[in-house]
Amino acid sequence: MNDELRSLVERQKICDVLARYARGVDRREWNLVSDAYHPDAFDDHGGYKGGVPGLLEWLERRHATIEQSMH
């Protein structure tokens, strides 16, 4: 595989992870959100700063009152 094709494949993989994250948040499927992160990830989400387990709790609380979400 040449460098240009490899770059396109890698870019698509990143886009796929971002799409899974957005789908997980919008559908409240927290396992999809979790799968978008490395196990040791640190998220700085403005209102939340910390690890993935805390992020999932924060997102779940935040989205409990949101009727619709679309990324």
| Structural domain boundaries in the chain | 3-63
Q: Is the pLDDT of residue 67 over 90?
A: no
> pLDDT tens digit string along 9-56?
999 999 999 999 999 999 999 999 999 999 999 999 899 999 999 999
Q: Let me know how many helices (H) and strands (E) the chain has, helices first.
A: 3, 2
pTM of the model: 0.85
| Per-residue pLDDT, 63 | 94
Q: For residues 50 and 69, what is the distance between their CA atoms, to the nearest angstrom?
A: 23
21 burial (CB, 10 Å; 0-12 / 13-18 / 19+) is middle
Identify the residue whose tokens are 């989205």.
Answer: 63
Cα–chain center distance at 12: 15
